[in-house]
Amino acid sequence: MFKSLKWQGFQDPDGTYQLIRRLLRENLRQFAPQYALAFVFMGLVAASTAASAWIMRDVINEIFISRDSNMVYVIAGVVMLIFAVKGASTYGQLVILSRIGNAIVAGLQRQLFSKLARQDMAYFDKTAMGDVVVRINQGAADTRMALDMVIVTLGRDVLTLVGLVFVMLVQDPTLSAFALLIMPPAVIGVTLLVKRVRKHAKMQFVSTAQIMSIIQETTIGIRVVKAFGVENALQERMDGAVANVEKQSNKIAALTARTSPLMETLGGFAIALVILYGGYSVVNLGQDPGAFFAFITALLLAYDPAKRLARLQVNLNKSLVGVRLMYELLDDTPGIEDAPGAKALSVDRGAVAFKNVEFSYGEGLALRKLSLHAEAGKMTALVGASGAGKSTVFSLIERFYSPEGGEILIDGQDVTKVAVASLRSNIAYVGQDTFLFDISIRENIALGRPGATDAEIEEAARNANAHEFILEQEHGYDTMVGEGGNRLSGGQRQRVAIARAMLRDAPILLLDEATSALDAESESKIQAALGRLMEGRTTLVIAHRLSTVRHADCIHVLDKGKVVESGTHSELFAKDGIYRRLAELQFQDGKSDTAA
């Protein structure tokens, strides 16, 4: 189920830096003024932190050694000013970065959904729902987190550390050298942790996608779950996926937490050396005690940003897993796109023709040199056993997939060479598994032709025999239909779908056994609506019940991806072929049926 997760970024150990560069390149320019202002505030925070360490020299020398009472008030006032500036700057930095982050997440989610909606059917055939949800939600959130870490590290922690190191160097260069001895072992230790965090973060994302898919499957197939009592089996799958996420999360937390004892130990070692040497210098060599205290203050204040910098690469690599997933979707090229110079489809009569068409879903041919013709303005039926290729014919007409050989023509125009949007705008589809969106009845019908007036929507509903039952709903046309249309009956959903197709007013109509799962009364109403819908249109019908297509102008019998028989009901029944055998299985009296 999760083979579609392509972890290309993990094969390149240096991919982290390219990914960060791309993030900065695509977002810094758009928000350059806001980021510049945030950097100003972060610079003020860094300067305030450095100033608070610097002023310790005057606190010790002027107050505790010189005992200058006037300086007490001056220094106290300066300290208040320093921390007021730091507080206001921190507030400004947080607000600006939050707004930038929210805008980035919103923009990425729009881009990701737009990209997802333009993917071809093959993408959805091979991609699990949980995979898609993780890429869109987690990918956008992790992008914001990664950018915040990089920007805040550069703007706040690095600037703060630079300011404090400057204070340390000015106060005592020798002590600074002792303090910086911890850098090499810290870098080595963090680098080793990063590699392990990246591996566990990848495994965590796979398990998270599994959880999402199990939830989606359970929600969509809840009737099957209840009917067959498979709650326990699903619970076992969910428990396994949750346990994997918990396991990987615990390992990531443990690895991330190891930066603390690493930095605490190295930091304690550095501070101990500083105290030993600094204390000796003050006591025995007469060094300035104020300078020593200023140095110690700067060193202690530098400890927090140094720890954050040490954890940066660990946390950053954890977030970049989601970023890689997001970019895989954004960079994926849809298999169905307009050919260079594609023109809009011009439909005059609406004749549809397949010429030696071949197609495969990946394992064996679904269509084998298939040729058939649907005359303009007439009804053409496709019959045959399941797996014969009937639904594949419909999918290729709408260009959900592209043929691997042969041609599909509409009024002599190759569907692979015309604009996809213009092709689909000339086709209306009504299937047996009617899907409605969780919006109002009016909005569902209006999807057939966006911008249609209320009068046009209601006229389409009347023609589809849907107007009466719609008015019986609590809110009429503004009634919400629920997820998938689950608040309406099967017949009601079907009539809304027919109204949607009528409003589209397309010259080509595809009907996929639109009445197969309905009771006699609902079928009668829908057959009447379909009769009005088919008038003057090129209609292709997939039929499992032959009684629904006996009056078709032409019936094509498909078997193993090929047309093996063609003709009217009477002509095909007169032959001793597949159609006659199918008919005799369905009709009690073949001769009387033929006569009828």
pLDDT in tens, 213-255: 777 777 767 766 777 677 887 788 888 888 887 787 787 777 6
The first and second tokens of residue 217, run together, are 């499957």
CA nearest to 119, candidates 104, 135, 137: 135
CA dihedral 161, 162, 167, 171 (to 10 degrees): 100
Number of neighbours of residue 311 by Cβ within 10 angstroms: 21
What's the whole-model pTM score?
0.72
Tell me if residue 209 falls in helix, strand or coil: helix
Q: Quick one: pLDDT at residue 285?
A: 64
The domain ranges of the chain are 8-331, 345-391+400-426+546-596
- Rounded to an integer, the average pLDDT of 132-139 is 81
**Residue 208: in which H helix or E strand, if any?**
helix 183-220
Q: Under 8 Å CB-to-CB from 91, ≥6 apart: which residues?
A: none
Q: Long-range contacts for 335-338 (Cβ within 8 Å, ≥24 apart)? A: 335/120, 335/122, 335/123, 335/401, 335/402, 336/120, 336/121, 336/399, 336/400, 336/401, 336/402, 336/420, 337/420, 338/419, 338/420
Compute CA distances 63 → 48, 71, 118, 299, 562, whole Å. 21, 7, 71, 22, 99
pLDDT higher than threshold 70 for residue 321? yes
Q: How many CA atoms lie within 13 A of 211 on its CB side?
A: 15
Residues 314 and 93: their CA atoms lie apart, in Å, by 24
> How many Å apart are CA 297 and CA 179, to the nearest integer?
13
**Amino acid 340: pLDDT:** 86
Please give the backbone phi and psi of residue 330, each rounded to the nearest 5 degrees, phi first.
-65, -35
Q: Does domain 8-331 have CATH number 1.20.1560.10?
A: yes
Instruction: Report the topology of domain 345-391+400-426+546-596.
Output: Rossmann fold (3.40.50)
Residues 6+ apart with CB under 8 A from 497: 430, 431, 434, 436, 514
User: At 405, phi and psi to the nearest 5?
Assistant: -165, 155
| Per-residue pLDDT at 180 exceeds 80 | no
Which strands, in side-by-side order, build the sheet including 427-431? 427-431, 508-512, 538-542, 379-383, 554-559, 562-567
Closest by Cα among 508, 155, 474, 502 to 351? 508
Locus of tokens 């303005």: 377
- Asked if residue 11 has pLDDT above 80, the reply is no
Helix 231-257 and helix 183-220, axial crossing angle in degrees, nearest 10: 170
**Cα→Cα distances 62→75, 78, 278, 281, 351, Å:** 9, 14, 20, 20, 97
What's the whole-number mean pLDDT along residues 568-578?
88
Does pLDDT of 593 surpass 60? no
Averaged pLDDT for residues 544-558: 85
Rg (CA), the chain: 35
Assess whether pLDDT exceeds 90 at residue 457: yes
pLDDT at residue 17 tops 80: no
Strands 538-542, 379-383: pairing is parallel
Most confident range (mean pLDDT) of 3-12, 59-68, 85-94, 150-159 is 85-94
The closest of 273, 305, 301, 266 to 183, measured between CA atoms, is 266
Whether the Cβ atoms of residue 1 and residue 210 lie closer than 8 Å to each other: yes
Tokens for 558?
A: 């498909």
CB atoms within 10 A of CB 333: 8
Q: What single-letter DSSP state applies at residue 480?
A: B
Q: How far apart are CA 485 and CA 563, in angstroms?
A: 36
**Contact (Cβ atoms closer than 8 angstroms) between residue 356 and residue 373:** no
Highest-confidence segment of 267-281, 507-521, 542-556: 542-556
Grade residue 274 by pLDDT with cuts at 50, 70 and 90. low
Is pLDDT of 554 > 50? yes
Q: How much is the pLDDT for 234?
A: 78
Q: What is the mean pLDDT of the chain?
A: 80
β-pair partners for 559: 562
The separation between CA 412 and the C-alpha centre of its own chain, rounded to angstroms, equals 38
Least confident of 293-302, 409-418, 578-587: 293-302
Burial category of 80 from C-beta neighbours within 10 Å (exposed 0-12, middle 13-18, buried 19 and up): exposed
- Percent of the chain whose predicted confidence (pLDDT) is above 90: 19
Confidence band, pLDDT 50/70/90 cuts, at residue 191: low
Which among 135, 132, 112 has a CA at the least distance from the CA of 124? Answer: 132
| Amino acid (one-letter) located at 337 | E
Helix (H) or strand (E) holding 101: helix 69-117
Position 392 confidence tier, pLDDT thresholds 50, 70, 90: very high
Is residue 474 within 8 Å of 506, Cβ to Cβ?
A: no
The answer to whether the beta carbons of residues 115 and 329 sit under 8 Å apart is yes
Structure tokens at 178: 């002792």
pLDDT band at 7 (very low <50, low <70, confident <90, very high): very low
- Find the Cα–Cα–Cα–Cα dihedral 492, 495, 500, 502, rounded to 10°: -160
Report pLDDT for 183.
60
Helix (H, G, I), strand (E, B) or coil at 511: strand
